[in-house]
Amino acid sequence: MDVVDEARRVILEEAEALKRLAENLDDSFKKAVDIILKTKGRVVLTGVGKSGLICKKIAATLSSTGTPAFFLHPADAVHGDLGMVRGDDTVIAVSNSGETEELLNVVPIIKSFGIPVIAVTNNPNSSLAKLADVTLLLHVEKEACPLGLAPTTSTTATLALGDAVAAVLMKLKGFTSSDFAKFHPGGKLGIRLSKVKDLMRTGKEIPMVSPDTALKDVIYEISSKKLGATLVLEEGKLVGIITDGDLRRAFERGVDFSTKAEEIMTRSPKTIREDVFAEKAIEVMERHKITVLPVINESGEVKGIIHLHDILGRRIV
């Protein structure tokens, strides 16, 4: 057996199953999405074994994309955890065969509460499909496992179906990148979605001088604020910036300490708005080979300043 050929077979079989799943989506999918969209409570995912593991992932994806959800093990449900389920919830029950005993024990009880049940199964004639309000079929012909037994293709199809539900709900709810950031405040992903206003320096932390500030005072401001630059403001508006590089070039030209800021500043510096994602600030800095950006509003008033290290310190890159 060629190991790579066998791996390729598995992946291609699962890919073909996903194509078949997509081609067979019908009004049942629309009905399921509509039920979830109208749900005032949470979406409860339930399943056993490998299906249960997939349920946990789908619940996590839904929760992080604007649809509150959690996983409930059916065995735990009949031993008290049904108390976690409320009347305004919706339940998604997952079973490839549709005959999983633990699910069939709990679904009728859930139905008696008047809670809608969406079944995900590969068997349209199964007991689970008959109990459900809506059934989403997987259309899996065989498992990719060499024995045709271990859940492989079926779990991949279920996961993809869950992702499709989550993605469609995001669009229907108008879920934005800003919304996503609210649910991902930690880790690299959350930091990448931070806004400039969350990282910028404000108030007395902003290095600033006026156009007629003497060079010796410019140097002091740059040194004391430790950002390698100072903004040049006139009546609250940004008119220029002076960086360490500007100072070096000025001294190479032979200026003295009485030289005014306006004589050595870089006019019309690159700027950024405070409501822009920090990732955009990184792009601007890299494109123009700079390390600091003044943050202004639509009127050109300075709201803050952001340095490359302010972002790198949060491990955005």
| 3-175 and 196-312 agree in CATH topology | no
Query: Would you tell me which CATH number, out of the four given (3.30.110.40, 3.30.70.890, 3.10.580.10, 3.10.25.10), belongs to the domain 196-312?
Result: 3.10.580.10
Tell me the C-alpha distance between 237 and 167, whole Å.
Answer: 43
Class of domain 3-175: alpha beta
For the chain, the farthest-separated pair of C-alpha atoms sits apart, in whole angstroms, at 89
Q: Produce one character per residue of 273-295: b if its CB has 16 or more CB atoms within 10 Å, e if not.
A: ebebbbeebbeebeeeebbbbbb
Q: Provide the token pair at 215.
A: 């060079």
Q: Give the domain ranges of the chain.
A: 3-175, 196-312
pTM exceeds 0.75 for this model = no
Walk along the chain (317 residues) and give the pLDDT tens digit of each residue: 899 999 999 999 999 999 999 999 999 999 999 999 999 999 999 999 999 999 999 999 999 999 999 999 999 999 999 999 999 999 999 999 999 999 999 999 999 999 999 999 999 999 999 999 999 999 999 999 999 999 999 999 999 999 999 999 999 999 987 777 777 666 666 666 788 888 899 999 999 999 999 999 999 999 999 999 999 999 888 999 999 999 999 899 988 888 999 999 999 899 999 988 888 888 899 999 999 999 988 877 899 999 988 887 764 44
